[in-house]
Amino acid sequence: MSDTARPDRIAVLVSGRGSNLQAILDAIEAGSLPAQIVGVFSDKPAAAALQRVEPALRWSASPKDYASREEFDLALGDAIEAAQPDWVVCAGYLRILCDAFVERFRGKLLNIHPSLLPKYPGLRTHARAIADGEAEHGASVHFVIPELDAGTVIAQARVPVRAGDDADALAARVLEVEHPLLIGVLRLAVSGRLAEQGTTTTIDGHGLFTPLLLDSAGALRAPGADSPI
């Protein structure tokens, strides 16, 4: 998928504020992520995230202007395909993607989710983790498959849940680790090291059976490994 002659092309799907999109833009600008953003796509025309890129890179539409979920996802998919991305990253995209969309971009479709999957798929993850008395919470980056938040987890970042945390405080702590987590996975992706082969996720051609972890220095490593991957 990666063509070494040019930086990988990344499409980003957003619904809201876009801090993860900003982390990608900053990493590209800093030279730590050899990639280019080829489009930012939203189901919310007023999403603040869209303002983070130049108008030519923005695409948005309201699902209510389409007859069905499938028709909206078809239009979204056509717009994304026209941008010819190597990777399609859901970074705070809050709408469930229909199966046909997922199949269309299968193998290049990544999502960042604010929980330690398989715990807490879906919404309100922070409040649910607190209500359950979890000692740890975090974020996961995974390949997207038709089942919601159920694709292979590539990497995770963990944070403690502290006494007195409310959902906002915990969300802020998780968001801090989301950004380096997402960039770490995208660095693997754009360097051609990450792939989804059938139902197996591989890194450097080897099956990944346990998620990588974000270490305290902001690097990804296999659990228990001496050095970053």
What are phi and psi for residue 183, nearest 5 degrees?
Answer: -65, -40
The only residue of 20, 42, 156, 201 in contact with ligand GRF, by rule CB under 6 A: 20
Nearer to ligand GRF, 128 or 204 (CB): 128
Which residue's entry shows tokens 């209510």? Answer: 64
DSSP 3-state of 155? strand
Tally Cβ neighbours within 10 Å of residue 218: 14
Q: Which helix (H) or strand (E) holds 90?
A: strand 87-90
Nearer to ligand GRF, 171 or 222 (CB): 171
Contact in structure between 137 and 129 (CB atoms under 8 Å): yes
- Return all residues near 177 (Cβ < 8 A) that are at least 6 apart: 138, 139, 157, 158, 159, 214
Sketch the per residue contact string, 42 through 81, with ligand GRF: x for CB under 6 A, - otherwise.
-------x--------------------------------
DSSP 3-state of 17? coil
The only residue of 39, 85, 114, 180 in contact with ligand GRF, by rule CB under 6 A: 114
The only residue of 28, 50, 109, 112 in contact with ligand GRF, by rule CB under 6 A: 112
Number of helices and strands in the chain (H, E): 5, 12
Sketch the per residue contact string, 120 through 149, with ligand GRF: x for CB under 6 A, - otherwise.
-------------------x----------
142 is catalytic: no
Nearer to ligand GRF, 82 or 110 (CB): 110
* Tokens at 210, concatenated: 């346990």
Point out which span in 65-73, 79-87, 107-115, 189-197 binds ligand GRF (CB under 6 A).
Answer: 107-115
The only residue of 92, 151, 184, 211 in contact with ligand GRF, by rule CB under 6 A: 92
The residues annotated with a catalytic role in the active site are 113
